[in-house]
């Protein structure tokens, strides 16, 4: 006969509680057993952040960088277009991030309807200046800001809004893109680069600012035409300009597939390789492709969970981006506290991707590529559309339907009617009717702004026709 | 017993016909559509002789059961009359022939002359339709939207959100006024409306004077206590003479159950019982439904939306352009829905019941604010356009104002034609390339041509082939300019292309 008396029972119970609280306090250690426990994931440690060293300045930079492009807003149904940013939440999240070792903050004069620098400035100015590195950009996309005066004003405004005397990192923003000048002529990537940085002497002026101590590290972020990327690195080799760092898009999908997805983009394996060769630290953007790599179809999720059942889908992408040694920091636009906590657990400390896992992820990339999603990362560079369209939300809905397996592609199939309804009802839910694809007139205003080089008007037309055909098959 | 049967049937019929007006999914009309088609005036307008004959025969045999179990406005009055103070008793009144018959004659004259702005106010089915679609459907939609919100939360696509909007303020006010006035009359005097104003009540009352079945008073058993009179909504039992005015009795059965002496029965009539009181009564409240109508006609407030724009140079990322309300174009000829044959046919037959308006999934049909066809639906492309796959309004119309058409037929019915307005067109004025109208034209009636005939590369402007255009309004609705640079002029007489 087995007898457990009340006392013994309580003891057993107590021991169990002690064990689980020990796990709770853990979220750390190289020991995978401990690190992957769900309980352990709940509370990130404050002293385990993986740090990388910038060879130029000796800065010890946290591997997790805070992207200030997707700041939280206070939802306001009456002000759908311009909800106010939630400064209280921004402060709280910045404080929390810094308390857990994050020290790199990346913003731009263009982000968040132009308010990101101000919000970032408010949050950071509450901390000692030597406790954080702030990065911002020369975002002179609009031809109205191409003059030396206007660009310089943008720089001075950055200092003012960020409430600092010097910038730790300054980037030429998104080189390799195209543009449309004030007369409406389309400029190619080279002409655009020259108009933004060379003809007006702004690049040289920025070098002067660096010498004057206003900028500690000068670099650039790159999207689009590889010609410009190569040209700038050639200048670096020739000693004409020195790049302290370069910001590139890197994730396990873009590693080998960036060019397949869009012919005008370049695979991350090449970009990173070129930087590593020269010892230029790489700052990583879009490690998660605007959340697309955090929200994968079930069959891919199942494969990930089979390997590391307690790790989040996003953690795979972050670990991949942080693994190469030449990566200085991985930027994540953490809108919500939950994102921040989850990422802190991934990076404090970073558990690098093994060779086996690397192969596994590159195989998954193949699966994701074959979904043929629209490669939108919801960065909103294209917005606002002058005709009121909500471009990112339209693409998000389309991708969501692909991901959920709800694409009504084949009327012969069972489930077609259900998928059709899901697509149409979901479309109206995600995007108000007056902001849907049928209102795109194809003016092309958005085109040059897309860092992913998506042919937006063309895609809009395709989606519009797809929806039209669905609707035409009689109502309800 | 009679009362219980009446209440059961009335509840069922009321529930179904109300649902017909509430449903926006286009499913219920397959099963419930006939309920609108058996209404008396719609059947006359649709020249549906079988239904008219059945209703007349039904009334001739059983009395005015139509008014108690088929007419939704009648049932609505019975429901509202339950709010009446229990102690307040009904009293016998004399028939107001001097009011009933002139109104009937005016109604018929207005109908024959096509003076819709008058007769639609008196028509009971239309009045109920306006009440259901204007007052009840918003509540129904609101409940639906709560479900849709819950469904969205659980990622279900079972329920979907529908916009709640007042399609025409004057019509809404008329519906609300009708509801309150008729309800007040019902609470105060039972079936006063049905027996003094309603033209259908007058016609059926004339028939039911001679009906085979009716309420009989057993003069031997009757103690003239008046318990039946106190319960009589039609105020048609005269205990002094022990007679019933069959022209006003709606066979509700309230009296039979209330007689302690078993003196009242519903059954076969004898000759002698058909001698209702013939004296005509004096005044009483007479002005009602169209009371105050004039006041609402002046202000025409249309709630519209749509179409954006203010071309601004983009400097920062994110945000949404403000979407302005679309400015409605002024049409020389209003557009009537496909299947209505012509503006005249539509105007003569439409009872302004709003069933098609409640049904329209594209937010196209709205009640007109124009006096000559007040409250009758007209087409507006501010919120949507008449999509080629939809023929729902034609399926539900009970009066033949909109004849049933198939989806295939619809694609060849020309209800209007598109007109280009150069001064609004973006390619013509600002040199922006657009072509959204041509891209969305379902019949290919719009092609884009260079604005400068000598310069092939000049901005392209739309050229409309009016022979092919069916007037669906896709171009008008999707035009980025505000007001639209292309709009639809209606055709008085629809054509086939």
Cβ neighbours of B323 in A, within 8 Å: 388, 434-435
User: Minimal Cα–Cα distance from A378 to chain B, Å?
Assistant: 10
User: Under 8 Å CB-to-CB from B408, ≥6 apart: which residues?
Assistant: none
User: Minimal Cα–Cα distance from B143 to chain A, Å?
Assistant: 17
Helical (H) or strand (E) element with B463? strand B460-464
CB contact under 8 A, A434 and B434: no
Angle of helix B72-81 versus helix B2-22 axis, rounded to 10: 110
Cross-chain CB nearest to A474 (options B305, B312, B389): B389
A406, closest residue in chain B (CA to CA): B157
CB contact under 8 A, B317 and A381: yes
Q: What are the CA-CA distances from residue A238 to residues A23, A307, B36 (Å)? A: 54, 46, 85
Cross-chain CB nearest to A384 (options B160, B320, B389): B320
Cβ neighbours of B432 in A, within 8 Å: 441, 443
Instruction: Quote the tokens at residue B140.
Output: 């129904």
Please determine, for residue A22, whether its predicted confidence score (pLDDT) is greater than 50: no
Q: How far apart are CA A393 and CA A378, in angstroms?
A: 8
Q: Does B433 touch chain A (CB under 8 A)?
A: yes
Mean pLDDT score, A318-322: 97
In which residue ranges of chain B is CATH 3.30.70.20 found?
A: 302-311+320-496
CATH, range B302-311+320-496: 3.30.70.20
User: Minimal Cα–Cα distance from B122 to chain A, Å?
Assistant: 35
Give SS3 for B178.
helix
Backbone angles phi, psi at B171, to 5 degrees: -65, -40
**pLDDT at B272 (0 to 100):** 57
The count of other CB atoms within 10 Å of the CB of residue B375 is: 26
User: Under 8 Å CB-to-CB from B117, ≥6 apart: which residues?
Assistant: B371, B372, B373, B374
Backbone angles phi, psi at A455, to 5 degrees: -80, 85
User: Minimal Cα–Cα distance from A443 to chain B, Å?
Assistant: 6
**pLDDT at B273 (0 to 100):** 54
Q: How far apart are CA A163 and CA A450, in angstroms?
A: 30
pLDDT tens for chain B, 497 residues long, are 889 999 999 999 999 999 999 998 888 888 899 999 999 999 999 989 999 999 999 999 999 999 999 999 999 999 999 888 776 788 888 888 899 999 999 999 988 887 777 888 999 999 999 999 999 999 999 999 999 999 988 888 888 888 888 889 999 999 999 999 999 999 988 999 999 999 999 999 999 999 999 999 988 889 888 889 988 999 999 988 888 999 999 999 999 888 888 899 898 877 655 554 443 333 333 433 333 333 333 333 232 333 334 444 567 888 888 888 889 999 999 999 999 999 989 988 999 999 999 999 999 999 998 888 889 999 999 999 999 889 999 999 999 999 999 988 999 999 999 999 999 999 999 888 899 999 999 999 999 999 888 888 889 999 999 999 999 999 999 999 999 999 999 999 999 88
Q: How far apart are CA B227 and CA B242, in angstroms?
A: 13
Q: Does B30 touch chain A (CB under 8 A)?
A: no
Cβ neighbours of B316 in A, within 8 Å: 109-114
Cβ neighbours of A476 in B, within 8 Å: 25-27, 361
CB contact under 8 A, A113 and B152: no
Question: How many Cα atoms within 13 Å fall on the side-chain side of residue A185?
Answer: 7
**pLDDT at A140 (0 to 100):** 94
Q: Does B408 touch chain A (CB under 8 A)?
A: no
Q: Closest Cα partner for A369 from A466, A300, A280, A287?
A: A300
Per-residue H/E/C for chain A: CCCCCHHHHHHHHHHHHHHHHHHHCCCCCCCHHHHCCHHHHCCCCCCCCCEEECCCCCCEEECEEEECCCCCECCCCCCCCCCCECHHHHHHHHHHHHHCCCCEEECCCCHHHHCHHHHHHHHHCCCCHHHCEEEEEECCCCHHHCCHHHHHHHHHHHHHHHCCCCEEEEEEEEECCCEECCCCCEECHHHHHHHHHHCCCHHHHHHHHHHCCCEEEEEEEECCCHHHHHHHHHHHHHCCCCCCEEEEECCCCHHHHHHHHCCCCCCHHHHHHHHHHHCCCEEEECCCCCCHHHCCCHHHHHHHHHHCCCCCHHHHHHHHHHCCCCEEEEEECCCCHHHHHHHHHHHCCECCCCHHHHHHHHHHHHHHHCCCCCCCCCCCCCCCCCCCCCHHHHHHHHHHHHHCCCCCCCCCCCCHHHHHHHHHHHHHHHCCHHHCHHHCCCCCCCHHHCCCCCCHHHHHHHHHHHHHHHHHCCCC
**pLDDT at B317 (0 to 100):** 84
Q: Closest Cα partner for A385 from B429, B304, B308?
A: B308
Q: Closest Cα partner for B479 from B409, B414, B443, B432?
A: B432
Cβ neighbours of B321 in A, within 8 Å: 81, 384-388
Domains of chain A: 46-369 (3.20.20.100), 391-472 (no CATH)
Question: How many Cα atoms within 13 Å fall on the side-chain side of residue A173?
Answer: 24
**Using an 8 Å Cβ cutoff, are B192 and B89 in contact?**
no
**pLDDT at B292 (0 to 100):** 35
**For A236-253, what is each residue's pLDDT tens digit?**
999 999 999 999 999 999
Q: How far apart are CA A279 and CA A326, in angstroms?
A: 7
Best mutation target, A115, A157, A387, A464, to test chain B (most B CBs within 10 A):
A387
A426, closest residue in chain B (CA to CA): B157
**pLDDT at A56 (0 to 100):** 92
Please determine, for residue A128, whether its predicted confidence score (pLDDT) is greater than 80: yes
The confidence band for A8, taking pLDDT boundaries of 50, 70 and 90, is very low
Instruction: Quote the tokens at residue B122.
Output: 């008196």
CB contact under 8 A, B308 and A388: yes
Q: Closest Cα partner for A251 from A331, A343, A349?
A: A331
Q: Does B33 touch chain A (CB under 8 A)?
A: no
Bridge partners, residue B217, by sequence: B264
CB contact under 8 A, B317 and A111: yes
Instruction: Tell me, rounded to whole angstroms, the distance of Cα B94 from its chain centroid.
Output: 32
Q: How far apart are CA B476 and CA B488, in angstroms?
A: 7
User: Under 8 Å CB-to-CB from A325, ≥6 apart: which residues?
Assistant: A276
Please determine, for residue A151, whether its predicted confidence score (pLDDT) is greater than 90: yes
**pLDDT at B274 (0 to 100):** 55
**pLDDT at A41 (0 to 100):** 53
Cross-chain CB nearest to B311 (options A379, A386, A471): A386
User: Minimal Cα–Cα distance from A14 to chain B, Å?
Assistant: 38
Instruction: Tell me, rounded to whole angstroms, the distance of Cα B102 from its chain centroid.
Output: 25
Instruction: Quote the tokens at residue B17.
Output: 């016909």
Q: How far apart are CA B475 and CA B484, in angstroms?
A: 9
**pLDDT at A39 (0 to 100):** 37
The count of other CB atoms within 10 Å of the CB of residue A359 is: 11
Cβ neighbours of B392 in A, within 8 Å: 475
Query: Would you give the DSSP letter of residue B34?
Result: H
User: Minimal Cα–Cα distance from A265 to chain B, Å?
Assistant: 21
Q: What are the CA-CA distances from residue B454 to residues B443, B457, B459 (Å)? A: 28, 9, 12
**pLDDT at A69 (0 to 100):** 94
Cβ neighbours of B391 in A, within 8 Å: none
Instruction: Tell me, rounded to whole angstroms, the distance of Cα B200 from its chain centroid.
Output: 16
Cross-chain CB nearest to B321 (options A114, A386, A441): A386
Backbone angles phi, psi at A163, to 5 degrees: 55, 45
Pairing of strands B486-496, B413-420: antiparallel
Cβ neighbours of B434 in A, within 8 Å: 441-443
Q: Does B300 touch chain A (CB under 8 A)?
A: no
Cross-chain CB nearest to B317 (options A80, A383, A386): A383
**pLDDT at A463 (0 to 100):** 95
CB contact under 8 A, A145 and B315: yes
Map tokens 């529908």 to a residue: B162
Please determine, for residue A458, whether its predicted confidence score (pLDDT) is greater than 90: yes
Query: Would you give the DSSP letter of residue B446?
Result: E
Mean pLDDT, rounded, of chain A: 88
A vs B: CB pairs below 8 A: 134
């Amino acid at each position: 006969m087995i007898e457990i008396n009340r006392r013994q029972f309580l003891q057993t119970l107590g021991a169990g509680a002690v064990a689980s609280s020990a796990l709770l306090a853990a979220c750390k250690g190289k020991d995978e057993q401990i690190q992957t426990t769900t309980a352990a994931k709940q509370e990130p440690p404050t002293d385990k952040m993986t740090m990388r060293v910038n060879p130029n300045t000796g800065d010890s930079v946290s591997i997790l960088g805070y992207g200030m492009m997707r700041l939280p807003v206070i939802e306001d149904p009456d002000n759908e277009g311009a909800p106010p940013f939630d400064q209280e939440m921004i402060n709280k999240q910045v404080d929390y991030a810094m308390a857990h070792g994050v020290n790199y903050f990346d913003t731009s004069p263009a982000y968040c309807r132009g308010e990101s620098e101000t919000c970032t400035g408010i949050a950071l100015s509450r901390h000692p200046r030597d406790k954080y590195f702030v990065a911002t950009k020369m975002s002179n996309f609009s031809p109205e800001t191409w003059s030396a005066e206007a660009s310089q004003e943008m720089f001075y405004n950055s200092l003012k809004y960020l409430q600092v005397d010097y910038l730790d990192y300054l980037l030429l923003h998104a080189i390799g893109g195209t543009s449309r000048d004030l007369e409406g002529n389309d400029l190619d990537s080279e002409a655009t680069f020259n108009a933004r940085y060379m003809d007006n002497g702004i690049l040289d002026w920025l070098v002067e600012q660096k010498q004057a101590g206003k900028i500690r590290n000068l670099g650039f972020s790159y999207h689009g035409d590889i010609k410009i990327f190569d040209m700038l690195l050639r200048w670096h080799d020739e000693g004409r300009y020195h790049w302290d760092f370069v910001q590139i898009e890197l994730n396990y999908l873009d590693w080998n597939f960036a060019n397949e997805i869009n012919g005008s983009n370049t695979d991350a394996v090449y970009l990173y390789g070129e930087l590593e060769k020269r010892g230029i630290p790489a700052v990583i953007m879009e490690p998660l492709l605007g959340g697309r790599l955090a929200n994968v179809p079930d069959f891919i999720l199942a494969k990930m969970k089979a390997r590391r059942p307690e790790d989040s889908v996003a953690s795979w992408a972050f670990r991949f981006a942080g693994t190469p040694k030449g990566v200085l920091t991985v930027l994540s636009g953490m809108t919500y506290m939950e994102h921040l906590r989850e990422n802190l657990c991934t990076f404090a400390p970073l558990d690098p991707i093994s060779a086996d896992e690397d192969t596994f992820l590159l195989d998954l990339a193949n699966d994701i590529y074959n979904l043929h999603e629209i490669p939108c990362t919801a960065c909103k560079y294209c917005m606002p559309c002058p005709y009121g369209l909500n471009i990112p939300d339209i693409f998000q809905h389309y991708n969501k339907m692909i991901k959920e397996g709800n694409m009504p592609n084949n009327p012969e199939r069972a489930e077609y009617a259900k998928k059709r309804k899901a697509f149409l009802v979901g479309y109206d839910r995600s995007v108000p009717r007056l902001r849907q694809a049928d209102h795109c007139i194809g003016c092309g205003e958005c085109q040059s702004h897309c860092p992913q080089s998506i042919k937006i008007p063309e895609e809009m037309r395709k989606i519009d026709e797809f929806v039209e055909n669905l609707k035409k098959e009689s109502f309800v | 017993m009679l009362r219980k049967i009446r209440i059961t049937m009335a509840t069922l019929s009321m529930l179904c016909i109300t649902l017909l007006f509430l449903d926006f999914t286009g499913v219920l009309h397959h099963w419930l559509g006939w309920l609108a088609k058996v209404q008396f005036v719609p059947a006359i307008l649709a020249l549906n002789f079988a239904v008219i004959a059945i209703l007349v025969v039904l009334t001739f045999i059983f009395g005015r059961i139509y008014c108690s179990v088929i007419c939704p406005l009648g049932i609505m009055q019975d429901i509202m009359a339950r709010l009446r103070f229990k102690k307040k008793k009904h009293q016998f009144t004399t028939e107001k022939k001097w009011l009933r018959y002139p109104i009937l004659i005016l109604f018929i004259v207005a109908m024959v002359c096509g003076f819709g702005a008058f007769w639609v106010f008196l028509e009971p089915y239309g009045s109920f339709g306006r009440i259901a679609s204007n007052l009840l459907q918003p509540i129904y939609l609101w409940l639906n939207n709560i479900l849709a919100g819950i469904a969205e939360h659980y990622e279900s696509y079972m329920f979907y959100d529908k916009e709640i909007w007042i399609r025409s303020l004057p019509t809404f006010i008329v519906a609300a006024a009708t509801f309150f006035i008729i309800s007040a009359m019902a609470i105060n005097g039972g079936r006063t409306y049905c027996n003094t104003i309603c033209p259908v009540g007058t016609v059926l009352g004339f028939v039911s004077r001679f009906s085979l079945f009716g309420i009989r008073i057993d003069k031997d058993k009757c103690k003239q206590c008046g318990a039946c009179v106190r319960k009589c909504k039609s105020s048609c039992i005269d205990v002094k003479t022990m007679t019933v005015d069959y022209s006003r009795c709606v066979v509700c059965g309230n009296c039979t159950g209330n007689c302690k002496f078993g003196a009242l029965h519903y059954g076969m009539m004898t000759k002698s019982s058909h001698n209702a009181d013939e004296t005509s009564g004096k005044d009483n409240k007479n002005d009602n439904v169209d009371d105050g109508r004039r006041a609402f006609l002046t202000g025409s407030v249309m709630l519209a939306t749509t179409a954006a724009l203010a071309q601004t140079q983009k400097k920062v990322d994110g945000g949404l352009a403000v979407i302005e309300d679309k400015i409605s174009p002024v049409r020389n000829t209003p557009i009537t829905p496909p299947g209505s044959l012509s503006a005249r046919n539509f105007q003569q037959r439409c009872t302004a019941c709003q069933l098609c308006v409640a049904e329209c999934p594209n937010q196209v049909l709205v009640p007109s604010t124009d006096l000559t066809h007040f409250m009758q639906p007209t087409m507006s492309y501010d919120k949507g356009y008449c999509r080629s796959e939809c023929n729902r309004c034609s399926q539900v119309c009970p009066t033949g104002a909109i004849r049933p058409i198939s989806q295939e037929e619809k694609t060849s019915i020309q209800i209007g034609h598109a007109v280009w307005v150069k001064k609004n067109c973006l390619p013509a004025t600002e040199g922006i390339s657009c072509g959204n109208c041509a891209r969305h034209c379902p019949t290919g009636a719009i092609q884009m041509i260079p604005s400068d005939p000598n310069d092939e590369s000049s901005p392209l402007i739309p050229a409309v082939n009016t022979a092919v255009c069916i007037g669906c309004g896709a171009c008008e609705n999707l035009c980025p300019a505000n007001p639209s640079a292309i709009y639809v002029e209606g055709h008085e007489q629809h054509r086939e292309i």
